[in-house]
Structure 1
Amino acid sequence: MAALDQPWSLTSHLLTLHTTQFTRATQSAFLQRAANGSLPKTTISHWLANDRLYMRGYIQLTGELLRILQLPSQPIPSSSLDPIEIRLLDWLVGALVNIRREERFFIDVAERYGLDLDLSGGGGKVAEEKKIEGLRRFEKLFGALTTGQKGADVLPWLEGVVVFWATERVYFEAWSWAKRQAEVESNERDISKDEDGGAMRKEFIPNWTNDEFIQFVDTLEKILDEGVEAATKENGGLKKELVGRAEKMWKELLDAEEAFWPNV
C-alpha cells in the first residue's frame, strides 16, 4: 500500500479502497496450498486451464486499446520523453509478447508435470459449467470493454488500463504472498514430494514473482498515474470523473480476482 506521505496518485488511491477484499484476493486458501505443495494435479489443471482461457480476453482487450490509442501525428524527438500514448503503445506490444510467452510456458510445464489444460474434452468448445466463477466474471468484464463502441472523450483507454494494472498488481501480490509461505515450507517439505511433483513451488511461483514481472507492473502504473495527472492538471473538475471511472473498474476487477481462486 502507498505510504501516507507520498503525493496523491490514482493507483495509490485505488489501493486504499476495499482493502479487506484485496487481502482475500491475494491470500486465499488456494495460494496457501500452492505454497505448501498440497494441491492435487486435478485442481491445478482445472485452475490453469481457466487461467489460459482468461488470456483470450486479455489479448482481445489489448487489441481494443491498440485500436483506440490516439497517437501523435508528429514525430517525437529522440531526446524527448515519449508521450503517454506512445509509452502505453510500447507496454501493450510488450504485453502481447508476454501473454504468448506465458501460454507457451503453461503448456511446457503442463507437459512435463502431467497437467491437463484442455477443458473442451477434445471437442474444441468449453462448457460453461467447466469455467470457474472468476473466469466468467473476467469474460464479462473484458467483453464490456471490447464492444467497439466509442469511449469517453478524455482518456478513452482509462478503464482498460486500470483493469490491466489491477489484474497484474493483484496477481503479483498474490503469488508474492504465496512465495513467502513457500519459503517457510521449503525447510519442512521436500519439493519432490509435493502433490504436483513441484510444479507450483519449482516452476509457477518463481515465474510469477520475478523482477521482470514487477518492473512490467510498475511501468504500467507510472503510465496510468501520469496519464491521469496530465489530464487533470489544467482541469481539476475532471479528476472526480476519472477517479469514479477507475474506482468502478477496480471493484469489478477485485470481484473477478477473488472469485478466480478455487475453493480448496
Structure 2
Amino acid sequence: MTTQGPLTTWLLQSTPQSLKRATTHPFLAAAGQGTLPKSILSQWLSQDRLYAQSYIRFIGQLLAKIRLDSRAANPQTHLAFSPEHQAVDVLIDALVNIRTELRFFESTAAEYGLDLAAISADEGGSALASNDHGSIITTSARISTTGSTSCPGYTGSTCHQDPPVSDLQGDLNSDKSVLHRLCNAQGECQMQAGSEICSPPLETAGLRKKIVTDCEPCIQPGSGGNLASAEPLERGGPVYFSATRITRAYIDLFMSAGSAGVPVIEGLAVLWATEVCYLRSWKYAAAFLKARAGDDKGKEDADGGALKEKFIPNWSSEEFEGFVNRIGEVLDLMSTEIKGVEEGELMRGRCLECWRQVVWLEERFWPIMPVE
C-alpha cells in the first residue's frame, strides 16, 4: 500500500470493506425508508447524545494541546493561516456545532416524542418481541434473554414448568426447553439468536433435576434441586440509563486521543474519522429518502417523521459536508508538516490505527435491527 498522497485519501482507501459496512448499516436503510421504529431510534439517539457530550471534552483537550506562534501575523508569511491557527478555527467551530447539535437533539426529541434516556436493548431496554407468557425478550448482539418472570435462557416458559419431572425420562433432546439453561460462568444467557440452546447440554440422558441443579439461578440455594421446594430467584437487577459498551469504548477513544502524550494530529485524525463516517452514513440514508420522495404521500413514517423531516436533512447537508471537509483539509495540512520520511510513516501508521478503531466502533454503534 502506497503512502503517497493526502493522508485523508489514504485512510479512506485503507479499509474499503469495513468503511462500507460501517456506513451502509440496515439501521440507516430503515431510517431512510421510514420503517425505523421510534423505540429503536430513541435507543440510538440517546447513545449518540452521550457521544456528543463526550465530544465537548475531547475538543477541549485538543485545543489545550495546540501551541500558537506568539509572533504577530505577517501577511508575507501567512502566519495567521498556519496549520495550528486553522486547527484552532475548526475546533472552535466544532464546539459551537456540538452545542447547537445537543439543543437540536432535545428540541426534536420533544417535538416527536422521542426518549433521550431510552435504555438500549444491549443493556436490558425495550422489547423487540415478547413470549407467550408475557415476559419481555430483548435482543442484543445476537443474544436473546427473557424478562424477570422466566428463567433467562428459556423463552418458552419458566424453567420450573413444562414438562413435569415425571414426564422427562431418557433422552433430554426430546424436550429442547430443558436445554435452555444459563451459562454459569457468565451469569447470563448465552443463547445465540436463532439457536435452541443457550449452552451445550450436560448429558443426553438423565432427569430434569440434573439440569435444574446445574442451572443455579433457577432455584434457591439449599433446595437440593427439589422442584417442589424451589422458588424462583430474583431475575436480573436494576436497569439504569447509561452508556453502552460501544459508547463507552468511543468515549475512551476520545479520552485517549486527547490525552497529553498523544500528538494533536492523531486527535484530529479521530475527529475527522468520526465525522466523515457520520456524514457518509447519513448520506446513505438520504439516498433512500430521496428515492421514495412522493411515493409515500399520506403514509406516516414509523418514527413519526423525525428522521425524514429533521435528522437526515441536517446530517447529510452541504453545510455539514463542508465542515467535515475543513477538518480533513487541516489534517492533511498538518500531516505535510511532519519532517522526515520515517517520522511521516510513523505518523501515518498511528493515524491508521485511529482510523481503524473508529470504523470498527462506527459499525457497532448502530443498533442491531430486529429480524423480520
- Report the structure, 1 or 2, having the larger helix content: 1
Cα distance in 2 for residues equivalent to 1:127 and 1:139: 21
Q: Report the AA paired with residue 260 of structure 1.
A: F
Contact 2:289 2:308 in 1 (8 A): yes
Residue 74 of structure 1: aligned partner: 71
Aligned 8 A contact 1:132 1:260 in 2: no
| Normalised TM-score (structure 1) | 0.87
Task: Measure how far apart 1:119 and its partner are.
Answer: 4.5
Q: Report the alpha carbon displacement of residue 191 of structure 1 after superposing the two structures with TM.
A: 7.0
Structure 2 letter corresponding to 1:62 = I
Aligned-pair identity in percent equals: 34
State which of 248, 271, 275 in structure 2 corresponds to 1:136: 248
Tell me what 1:163 maps to.
Answer: 270
1:36 to 33, 42, 52: 33
Q: Which of 198, 223, 229 is the matching residue for 2:305?
A: 198
- Residue in 1 that maps onto 2:48: 51
1:248 to 353, 360, 364: 353
AA at the equivalent of 2:55: Y
Partner secondary structure for residue 67 of structure 2: coil
User: Could you give the per-residue CA deviations for residues 129-186 of structure 1, whole angstroms, max 9, x where no partner exists?
Assistant: 7534431220221122344x433xxxx2011100110111011111111101111122
For residue 14 of structure 2, give the secondary structure of its aligned residue in structure 1.
Answer: coil
Alpha-carbon distance in structure 2 between the residues aligned to 1:191 and 1:37: 13
SS at structure 2 position matched to 1:189 = coil
Matches within 5 A, 1:1-264: 8-77=5-74, 80=78, 82-119=81-118, 130-147=242-259, 149-151=260-262, 156-190=263-297, 193-232=300-339, 235-264=340-369
Report the Cα distance in structure 2 between the residues aligned to 1:130 and 1:227, rounded to whole angstroms: 36
Give how far 1:97 is off.
0.3
Question: How has the CA–CA distance of structure 1 residues 75 and 119 changed in structure 2, closer, same or farther, with 3 Å as cutoff?
Answer: farther
Shift of the alpha carbon at 1:261? 0.6
Please state how far the C-alpha of 1:56 moved relative to its aligned partner: 2.0
Structure with higher Rg: it is 2
Distance apart, 1:209 and its partner CA? 1.0
Of the two structures, which has the highest relative contact order with CA contacts closer than 8 Å and spacing of 6 or more? 1
Query: TM-score w.r.t. structure 2 length?
Result: 0.63
The whole-number CA distance in structure 2 between the counterparts of 1:180 and 1:64 is: 36
Residues 99-121 of structure 1: per-residue CA shift (max 9 Å, x gap): 0000101111101100010258x
CA distance in 2, matches of 1:197, 1:78: 53
CA contact (8 A) 1:109 1:203 kept: yes
Q: How far did residue 192 of structure 1 move?
A: 5.2
How many residue pairs get aligned? The number is: 247
* Ranges in structure 2 where 5+ consecutive residues have no aligned partner: 120-237
Distance 2:266 2:335 in 1: 12
Map Cα deviations across residues 59-89 of structure 1 (whole Å, 9 max, x no partner): 1110111111011111213572511001000
Asked if structure 1 preserves the Cα contact closer than 8 Å seen for 2:275 and 2:324, the reply is yes
Amino acid at match of 1:219: R
Kindly provide the amino acid, as one letter, of the partner of residue 131 in structure 1: A
In structure 1, runs of 5+ residues without a counterpart are 121-125
CA separation in 2, counterparts of 1:76 and 1:150? 29
Counterparts of 2:351 and 2:240, CA distance in 1: 29
Give the conservation status (yes or no) of the 8 Å contact 2:117–2:241. Answer: no
Query: Is this contact kept in 2: 1:162–1:249, CA < 8 A?
Result: yes
Instruction: Give the RMSD, CA atoms, in angstroms.
Output: 2.1
